[in-house]
Structure 1
C-alpha cells in the first residue's frame, strides 16, 4: 500500500526490471508473464494515466484486465466487496481517496491489492519517475529530489521511498504546508526566494544545476504553478518520465505475481 512497506531490494528489483520491459516495449516483444492472470481495475476517484497504463500493461503481457465500476466505503462493506472480487480475480488494482480503506481491502481480500493512488500517497507515480531517472542516469543512489508541493500524495510517496532507498528528499514549501516527521533522508525547507512566488519558470530552471531533471507532476496548469516556457525547457522531461510509468507498473505487476 506504501513504498515504505517494501524492502529496498524489492523496489530496486522493480526499477531494474522496468528498464528491461522498456526495451521490450520499444521492440514490441512484451513477455507474456501475466498470461492467465485476471486483474480487476477499480477506479474510485477519476484519473486516467496510471489506470490506463495498468490496463494496457496487463493486456500487453497476456493478462485479462477488467474495469470493475464499484465504489469503496459506500453502501457495501469492504469485507463483502473483497470477497466478491476474490470470486473472479487474481489481483485488484485500486485507485481510491482514502489509504485506510485500501488497507482494509487488502486485509480482507485473498488476492493481492495494488495501490494505484490515494490522497495520502501515489507509489506508482514515484516508481515511474525513479525508473526514468535510473534510465537517464544509470543509478539512483545519491539522488536529491526537491519536491515543490504541499504535504499531499506525491510528497507522501517520496517520503516513503526515502525510508528504504539511498536518496534524499527535501520539501521546498511554506512552513504551514510542511509534511510532519522529518527523518534522516527527508527534510523541509522554506527558502523559496529563488522560486519566484512558487511558480517554476524557465528562468528559474536556467539558474539551477545543468544536469537537472524537471518532472512536473501531471496535471499541471501552464501559466499557474508552472510557466509555459518551463514546460518547454531543456530540463523538462515529464513526457519521457511518464512513459516509464507504464514500465514501472508492469514491473510491479510481475512482482505481485512473483513472475521472473
Structure 2
C-alpha cells in the first residue's frame, strides 16, 4: 500500500473518513472489551515529535499504541537533532528507517508538509498552527455516537478563526454539514480555506443570531499556545463571545456542546458550562483514543476487520 499521510482532513476521501468514524465506534464498543487479544500494532513503533506540549494528544497516542500491542516513542526538541538544526527532511528520512509512523505536534504547517514529503512512512498531524485534524475525528465521532449521521446538520463555531476552526471548515466539506463561524471582525479564518468550502460555511459576528436552531456548538480558548502576549487584547475583542448555558438555550432542543480542551472557565465558556448535560467534552476527549486507534490502523494496515 502506498504511504498515506494525515496532515488535514482533505488527505482522506469522505468515504474513508466515514469509515474511520464507524471503525472508531466499533473499536470503542467492541474491540476494547477484547483487551490484548487484538494486537494489530505488535512490533510497530510510533515516533511522537512534540514541539508543543499536550495532555490529551500524548496520552491518547501512547495509550492507543500500547493497547494495540505497539510502542510509542516520545521525542521533544531536546531529544532530537531537530532541536540542533538538522534539516527536517534529514530527520524524516532517518526516522523512516527505524519506525513505522510519525506523529508531529508542531507550529509550522509548512515544516510538517516538508517532513511528510521526505518520509516513506505515514506522518500524522497532531496539531499545527493551521490545522488539528485528529481532534476533528474525535469531535465528529462524538457527534455521530450521540446523534447519528451529521450530514445536513448545523454546527456553530464561536471564537477565533484558528487551526481548530480551519479543521471544522474542512470537516463541513468532507462530512457534508453546515457550519456557521461566529467571530469578532478581524478574527476570521483564512479566506482560501473558506472559499474552498463554498456555501457549506458562513461567517457571522453575532453569537445570539449564529446559534439559533443549531445542532452543535463548539469553541476554543481565545489565546492559543504562542499567543499569550495577546491575552488582554483578545479578552477585550472577544467580550460577548462567551459560550454559556443561556447561549445554548437559543440553539436546537437537543444541541450538543464540544470543546477541544483545555478550557478556560470564565473566558470562552461560562464557569459552569462543562457541567451542563448538553456538554459532552469528557466523552469527546476520551474519543481521541479510539479515533486515533482507527487512524493508525488505517494508515499502517488498511481497513481493519470487525
TM-score range, shorter chain: over 0.9
Partner of 1:51: 58
**Unmatched runs of 5 consecutive residues or more in structure 1:** none
CA distances 1:130-154 after superposition (whole Å, capped 9, x unpaired): 0111111222212211011211111
Distance verdict in 2 for CA 1:256–1:184, change over 3 Å: same
Give the Cα–Cα distance (whole angstroms) in 2 for the partners of residues 259 and 141 of structure 1.
Answer: 23
Could you tell me which residue of structure 2 aligns to residue 13 of structure 1?
A: 19
Q: How many residues align?
A: 260
Q: Quick check: 1:73–1:101 contact (8 Å CA) kept in 2? A: no
Tell me which residue corresponds to 1:168: 178
Say which of 275, 279, 294 aligns to 1:236: 279
For structure 2, the 5+ residue unaligned runs are: 1-6, 212-238
C-alpha contact 1:200 1:225 (8 A) present in aligned 2: yes
Q: Corresponding residue for 1:219?
A: 262
**Secondary structure in 1 matching 2:97:** helix
1:259 Cα deviation from its structure 2 partner: 4.6
Q: Is 1:151 aligned to 2:174, yes or no? A: no
In 1: Cα distance, 2:188 partner to 2:28 partner? 35
TM-score normalised by L of structure 1: 0.94
Taking the TM superposition and a 5 Å limit, the aligned residue runs for 1:68-147 are 68-70=75-77, 72=82, 75-147=85-157
Relative to structure 2, which stretch is displaced further, 214-223 or 98-107? Answer: 214-223
When the two structures are superposed, what TM-score results if normalisation uses the length of structure 2?
0.80
Partner residue in 1 for 2:200: 185
Distance 1:26 1:254, change over 3 A: closer
Q: Is 1:61 matched up with 2:68?
A: yes
CA RMSD across the alignment: 1.8
- The Cα shift of 1:247 comes to 0.7
Shift of 1:61: 0.5
Change (3 A) 1:143 1:74: farther
- Note the C-alpha offset of 1:175: 2.5
Change over 3 Å in CA distance of 1:26–1:197 after alignment to 2: same
